[in-house]
Amino acid sequence: MVAISRHWSRTVLSLCNRGFHSQLQPQNFVPFSQQQLQRNFLESQLVSLLHGCSDFNQLRQVHANIIRMGLDQCCFVLTKFIRVLTKFMVPMDYPRLVFDQVRRPNPFIWTALIRGYSLLGPFSEAVVLYNCMRKEGTRPVSFIFSALFKACGATHDFNSGRQVHCQTISIGGFVSDLYVGNTLIDMYVKCGFLDYGRRVFDEMMDRDVISWTSLITAYAKNGAMEVAGELFDRLPDKDMVAWTAMVTGYAQNARPREALRLFERMRDAGVETDEVTLVGVISACAQLGAEKYARWIRDVAEHAGLGPTTNVVVGSALIDMYSKCGSVDEAYQVFEMMMEKNVYSYSAMIVGFAMHGKADAAMRLFYEMVKTETKPNRVTFIGVLTACSHAGLVEQGRNLFGSMQGIYGITPSADHYACMVDLLGRSGHLEEAYELVKTMEIEPHGGVWGALLGACRIHGNPDIAEIAASHLFELEPTGIGNYVLLSNIYASAGRWDDVSRVRKLIRKKGMKKNPACSWVEASNGVIHEFFAADMTHPKSKEIKQALEELLERLKLAGYKPNLSSVVYDLSDNEKEQLLMTHSEKLALVFGLLTTSAGSSIRIVKNLRICEDCHSFMLSASGVTRREIVVRDNMRFHHFRDGLCSCGDFW
């Protein structure tokens, strides 16, 4: 019997598929020639050799064999070869060379090559080649389209993607292919045309959980959590990935509590947890900044066998979480126990040190990293530059910034300039900071001008502030913080007319001030929330009284209210009253009332801590003999015995 030929088995298969079972009679098959059999045998031998390859050198040897056996025009074998090369992520020059030597490429080898480009890049080459293929009159096979849409998605090339999509419609049939449909949704979403993706989804004949999840993720990334949630509820068979997409969506949209609630529901539903799910939940815990949740999720991770020792992704997320929860020491413990460390782990740790004002540790780790195989990336530099900025290490920062391009091959981005402006401006080199902005080769973004404006606030420079603010008003017309900052700068300079001018502008634009808010964890792990001048908390009366008592004690110890922190034109007495309503002071007093003596108090604040609250905390940490940790939207302050980890420089 003829048993080993692929042609034979293919013929049988296609006859079966078309319902011609009756033709499956031995007499209907022309026996293969001996030569053909020999060739088929060789081909299948080579293909199995290809699949057994474990490194690039072996692949080259098989290639040499293909040529030696005279199969250098055999599309069947070469297609497999190109696929394996792609799997090994061999740069596309090599597959291209192989392809270019084939005189009459068939649709499959075209597809393999195009797919290679769509996975490894240069992505734009995929569409170029596809057009060549069409010009030569080769009819595309359906699965070429998922490769093309992937490539267009990677380059955000909406026009090409749209064009190819229209062609699939005119060729007919392929749009109803589930895989093609899913990649098409993904392509439109990546190009920023969510509505087009939605339309494809709505028009698809059948959808699987992947189609739903693509769309859910897209809405979540757009901040449309309500739409995402609606889709999620309608999804009949939710799998781990779909659940994770929702959990992560809430975390990414700064809704950590909902993320945790959904994660609990997910576990109740008996869905498994993997590292991706965990990372989303860990990020939610990091946002809450509470020790209780940090401990809990660490246990969950260890329990699932996904602890930091063995899992680098979970480890890096945990480093970030512990840093943001105020436990930089614990973050470092995690870092040290990790068997594998990559650029994420190093960067997270460096950023963690920077946030806590441990500039020396950050720099040390950076130089340690440089000695390893792991190359620093743009985020790593954000970390070290921030560290310099928080510690006022101007010279070191200048050197690092200067070495980015030359030594590490990283072109400074606007974010890096923002760090430098922050460093220079904060340390009093306002003019130099402004000069740096003026000489930037790339367009400065809001972060750059924002850093300059912030520095003007510290050093009281309304003139440069006006310039920075005017750019900010254009770049971020709805950014209320910039207006508030400018008005504060005018207020500090006593320019009350300008203050009211800015206030009017705010009112005219219909903007509302972001309410200041602080959170503090009570001893039972429950988180309490305080807004500025908030009297809605059940214990408000006690808090107010305790605050007044504390104020008297602090004044005796030398604390003086910093009245210039108040941006309203009020009497000194009124200013002092107003300062006592700041949310972090309420949170502090609540913490003092509800936690046991000796334990530390952790406060998280949504805005930057003001100067008066900073000196209040300093004094309070000395008088009450408590450690106070405040996380504002920029960094951490550890107050102990009347001193702060930031060295009063922030």
Site for DNA, rule CB under 7 A: 80, 83, 119, 142-143, 146, 150, 178-180, 182-183, 186, 208-211, 213-214, 217, 221, 239-242, 244-245, 248, 252, 274-277, 279-280, 283, 286, 312-313, 316-317, 320, 342-345, 347-348, 351, 354, 377, 379-380, 382-383, 386, 389, 415, 418-419, 422, 447, 450-451, 633-634
Could you tell me which residues are beta bridge partners of residue 630? 603, 637
> Residue 422 or residue 521: which is nearer to DNA going by CB?
422
> Residue 242 or residue 489: which is nearer to DNA going by CB?
242
Query: Closest distance between DNA and the C-beta of residue 283, in Å?
Result: 5
Query: Closest distance between DNA and the C-beta of residue 459, in Å?
Result: 16
Query: Closest distance between DNA and the C-beta of residue 313, in Å?
Result: 4
> Residue 374 or residue 594: which is nearer to DNA going by CB?
374
Query: Closest distance between DNA and the C-beta of residue 345, in Å?
Result: 7
Give the integer Cα–Cα distance in Å for 244 and 266: 9
Backbone angles phi, psi at 539, to 5 degrees: -100, 20
Query: Closest distance between DNA and the C-beta of residue 585, in Å?
Result: 23
**E strands present in 453-545:** 517-521, 527-531
> Residue 138 or residue 621: which is nearer to DNA going by CB?
138
Query: Closest distance between DNA and the C-beta of residue 146, in Å?
Result: 3
Query: Closest distance between DNA and the C-beta of residue 366, in Å?
Result: 12
130 alpha-carbon distance from chain centroid: 33
DSSP assignment of 187-235: HHHHTT-HHHHHHHHHH-S---HHHHHHHHHHHHHTT-HHHHHHHHHH-
> Residue 217 or residue 492: which is nearer to DNA going by CB?
217
At 476, the amino acid letter reads E
Q: Is the dihedral of CA 109, 115, 119, 124 positive or negative?
A: positive
- Dihedral, 523, 525, 527, 533 alpha carbons, nearest 10: 0
User: 589: which residues sit within 8 A by CB, 6+ positions away?
Assistant: 543, 546, 547, 550
Residue 116 contacts residue 85 (beta carbons within 8 Å):
yes
Cis preceding-peptide flag for 107 (omega within 30 of 0): no
Cis preceding-peptide flag for 236 (omega within 30 of 0): no
At 381, the amino acid letter reads F
Query: Closest distance between DNA and the C-beta of residue 43, in Å?
Result: 14
> Residue 530 or residue 636: which is nearer to DNA going by CB?
636
> Residue 347 or residue 565: which is nearer to DNA going by CB?
347
> Residue 377 or residue 540: which is nearer to DNA going by CB?
377
313 alpha-carbon distance from chain centroid: 13
Backbone angles phi, psi at 639, to 5 degrees: -95, 130
> Residue 455 or residue 566: which is nearer to DNA going by CB?
455
Among the listed residues 335, 367, 362, the one whose alpha carbon sits nearest the alpha carbon of residue 351 = 362
> Residue 181 or residue 561: which is nearer to DNA going by CB?
181
Q: Is the dihedral of CA 640, 645, 649, 650 positive or negative?
A: negative
Residue 440 contacts residue 417 (beta carbons within 8 Å):
yes
At 364, the amino acid letter reads R
DSSP one-letter code for 140: P
DSSP one-letter code for 601: E
- How many other C-beta atoms are found inside a 10 Å radius of the C-beta of residue 490? 22
Query: Closest distance between DNA and the C-beta of residue 471, in Å?
Result: 15
> Residue 286 or residue 328: which is nearer to DNA going by CB?
286
Query: Closest distance between DNA and the C-beta of residue 145, in Å?
Result: 7
Residue 426 contacts residue 392 (beta carbons within 8 Å):
yes
Backbone angles phi, psi at 631, to 5 degrees: -105, 115
> Residue 353 or residue 639: which is nearer to DNA going by CB?
353
Query: Closest distance between DNA and the C-beta of residue 206, in Å?
Result: 11
Among the listed residues 215, 226, 279, the one whose alpha carbon sits nearest the alpha carbon of residue 248 = 279
Give the integer Cα–Cα distance in Å for 649 and 448: 20
Query: Closest distance between DNA and the C-beta of residue 252, in Å?
Result: 7
